[in-house]
């Protein structure tokens, strides 16, 4: 509840919206400063007794060093949350707080699923037809080996298929040039692995100009290029807003509205939201966590990887 | 004259425009099918005798394999042109033809300047204030070592300073994260080299969201990421045109209008234009070649590198 630029207000509003729109099967565990949360929940017509409030009064700010902050602020909502997640007190964790701390928590408190080389985080890529592509890695794994990219393809495929409802997700390798054999050493080596990878529908290379087109549903790359693509796409939205350009497609570059992305490859559902997440994002993140559990995404990942 | 999607018409129109707007100090050497060029020049009010026409009837198509095409089509305008450039019959070469063939010509007919690790090609990045940034490498060098990036910084600085008129070009390292120590192994290793590199004004890391901002005049990266950034920026223009978005800044994403980029680090001025270059691009490319010679860019590069 304490993560994000508008904490805890937007999280509270998100919960109110989630509940008013039919959410009732999930027990919400609210981590944060109880003295702040309790009156705010009541103010928004919510019954604190219908949820589990866990007092976690410390805050990890957006710019704090993740490992250091998690170690020193044991009563922060992120530290307490990962403790509960690791010990079974919760089934999923959601936060719009310090991304680094969320990742450190994911990697060290929760650990990877067996056989996972590198947990990864993706980014949605909006398309003109309203569909979303999924680009991964979006920044955790700046240097990758070819087999990492092949595994990202499996993780992205399972996520897009079972959670996002894309029937047979097309996987593209982000590259420079269309034909096999093009690209840097990593892309050249990853291509044949992707071709042979079972459980995915590999369509070959996609280029920078294809990222925003409905060509591949899953786009794999190392996290250096992926993060630069993501940040550049985000900056398009800043430009559109700044220049007051009105266009329905460019509106979808508002990445805060998507409601968070899962850390894929770790043993529990972890969902990381944008710092400026609003009520709708929080609602969407709760639903995303529910869907990951309902569809047994992690079970499917375990089956596919081992 | 035979390169580009509208060859040779747009090249002829570009020459007409160049001459009508005061261009007279440069002897133009026109490489192409003379039987086609001569009447077309006259049609556009140009005197073929005021230029040097070199008969080069073969064409290298946009999708031909560069090395193979150059070897087999010795009477193509690109092959003949690089022959003349190498033997002193011309001082610069300009083409909107097969980019790969132009690069192969640059690297094998002309060679690199002494001390140059890797010749490179850049891409202009439009900014809202009308300035242009220069991103390099934009796709020739998919894999780079840290010292390559440091040299790209020098090449980009000299080009932006002497040809594009930016007084003290700011150099940024394309990276994920702002602080030193962030990024992939290449970026981590390149940062200290850039800090120590003489002759440049290094301002630190720039992120994907800064590529389109007026933060760094020269942005260095390996050619894999650079090419993906360029192609993605080009695709923004496609979207803007397709969706009929009217905005003065997005109009500047029309990369064809910039008129070509030089191959930096080779021993003669080589300028490569977009396949869909129009008359204005051809005029601009002639002027760019003139400016590179007038400002002795290659002499300055030699001095800076050795």
Query: Concatenated DSSP letters for B28-93?
Result: -EEEE-HHHHHHHHHHTT--GGGSEEEE--B---TTS-HHHHHHH-TTBHHHHHHHHHHTTS-S-E
B6 touches chain A (CB under 8 A): no
Q: For B204-233, what is the mean pLDDT?
A: 97
Domain map (residue ranges) of chain B: 1-116+265-306, 118-255
C-alpha–C-alpha distance, residues B216 and B171, integer Å: 5
Residue B306 has pLDDT above 80, yes or no: no
C-alpha–C-alpha distance, residues B293 and B299, integer Å: 9
Q: pLDDT tens digits for chain A (306 residues)? A: 998 888 899 999 999 999 999 888 899 999 999 999 999 999 999 999 999 999 999 999 988 999 999 999 999 999 999 999 999 999 999 999 999 999 999 999 999 999 999 999 999 999 999 999 999 999 999 999 999 999 999 999 999 999 999 999 999 999 999 999 999 999 999 999 999 999 999 999 999 999 999 999 999 999 999 999 999 999 999 999 999 999 999 999 988 778 899 999 999 999 999 888 899 999 999 999 999 999 999 999 999 997
Minimal Cβ distance to A235: which of B184, B212, B235? B212
B12-36 pLDDT, tens digit each? 999 999 999 988 889 999 999 999 9
Query: If residue B173 lies in a helix (H) or strand (E), which one and from where to where?
Result: strand B170-174
Is B208–A231 a contact, with Cβ atoms under 8 angstroms apart? yes
The answer to whether B157 and B218 have CB atoms below 8 angstroms apart is: yes
The reported pLDDT for the residue numbered B193 is 98
Same fold, A1-113+265-293 and A117-257: yes
Q: Which of chain A's residues have a Cβ under 8 Å away from the Cβ of B174?
A: 228
The reported pLDDT for the residue numbered A22 is 87
Please name the residues in contact with B180: beta carbons below 8 A apart, sequence gap of 6 or more: B191, B192, B195, B204, B205
The answer to whether B122 and B159 have CB atoms below 8 angstroms apart is: yes
Fold of A117-257: Isopropylmalate Dehydrogenase (3.40.718)
What is the three-class DSSP state of B306? Answer: coil
Could you say which DSSP state residue B247 is in? -
Fold of A1-113+265-293: Isopropylmalate Dehydrogenase (3.40.718)
C-alpha–C-alpha distance, residues A215 and A6, integer Å: 36
CATH of domain B1-116+265-306: 3.40.718.10
Peptide bond into B8 cis (omega under 30): yes
Fold of B118-255: Isopropylmalate Dehydrogenase (3.40.718)
C-alpha–C-alpha distance, residues A297 and A289, integer Å: 10
A176 touches chain B (CB under 8 A): yes
C-alpha–C-alpha distance, residues B143 and A52, integer Å: 52
The reported pLDDT for the residue numbered B258 is 84
The answer to whether B101 and B64 have CB atoms below 8 angstroms apart is: yes
Q: At A276, list the tokens.
A: 């400026």
The answer to whether A4 and A10 have CB atoms below 8 angstroms apart is: yes
C-alpha–C-alpha distance, residues A23 and A291, integer Å: 12
Residue with tokens 């409030």: A53
Size of interface A-B (CB pairs under 8 A): 122
Query: Concatenated DSSP letters for A232-284?
Result: HHHHHHHHHHHTT---HHHHTT-GGGG--EEEETBSS-EEE--TT--HHHHHH
Could you say which DSSP state residue B23 is in? -
C-alpha–C-alpha distance, residues A220 and A137, integer Å: 7
pTM: 0.95
Is B235–A245 a contact, with Cβ atoms under 8 angstroms apart? no
Q: Which of chain A's residues have a Cβ under 8 Å away from the Cβ of B229?
A: 208, 228-229, 232
ipTM of the complex, rounded to two decimals: 0.94
- CA dihedral for B54, B58, B61, B67, sign (positive or negative): negative
Peptide bond into B137 cis (omega under 30): yes
Query: If residue A123 lies in a helix (H) or strand (E), which one and from where to where?
Result: strand A120-126
Residue whose C-alpha is closest to residue A130's, from A229, A258, A282, A289: A258
């Amino acid at each position: 509840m304490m993560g994000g630029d508008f904490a805890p207000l937007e999280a509270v509003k998100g919960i109110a919206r989630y509940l008013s729109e039919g959410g009732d099967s999930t027990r919400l565990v609210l981590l944060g400063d109880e003295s702040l949360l309790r009156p705010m929940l009541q103010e928004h017509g919510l019954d604190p007794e219908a949820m589990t409030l866990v007092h976690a009064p410390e805050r990890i700010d957006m710019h704090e060093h993740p490992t250091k902050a998690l170690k020193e602020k044991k009563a922060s909502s992120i530290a307490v949350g990962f403790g509960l997640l690791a010990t079974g007190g919760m089934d999923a964790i959601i936060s719009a707080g310090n991304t680094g701390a969320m990742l450190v928590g994911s990697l060290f408190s929760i650990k990877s699923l067996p056989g996972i080389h590198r947990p990864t985080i993706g980014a949605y890529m909006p398309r003109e037809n309203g569909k979303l592509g999924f680009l991964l890695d979006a920044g955790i794994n700046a240097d990758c080996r070819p087999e990492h990219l092949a595994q990202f393809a499996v993780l992205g495929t399972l996520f897009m298929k079972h959670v996002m409802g894309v029937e047979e997700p097309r996987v593209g390798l982000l590259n420079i040039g269309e034909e096999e054999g093009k690209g840097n050493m990593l892309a050249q080596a990853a291509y044949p692995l992707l071709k042979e990878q079972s459980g995915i529908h590999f369509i070959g290379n996609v280029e920078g100009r294809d990222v925003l087109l409905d060509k591949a549903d899953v786009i794999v790359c190392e996290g250096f290029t992926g993060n630069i693509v993501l940040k550049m796409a985000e900056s398009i939205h800043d430009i559109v807003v700044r220049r007051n350009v009105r266009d329905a497609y460019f509106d979808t570059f508002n990445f805060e509205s998507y409601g968070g992305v899962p850390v894929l490859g770790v043993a529990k559902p972890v969902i990381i939201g944008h710092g400026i997440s609003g009520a709708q994002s929080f609602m969407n993140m709760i639903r995303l966590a529910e869907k990951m559990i309902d569809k047994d995404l992690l079970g499917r990942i375990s089956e596919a990887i081992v």
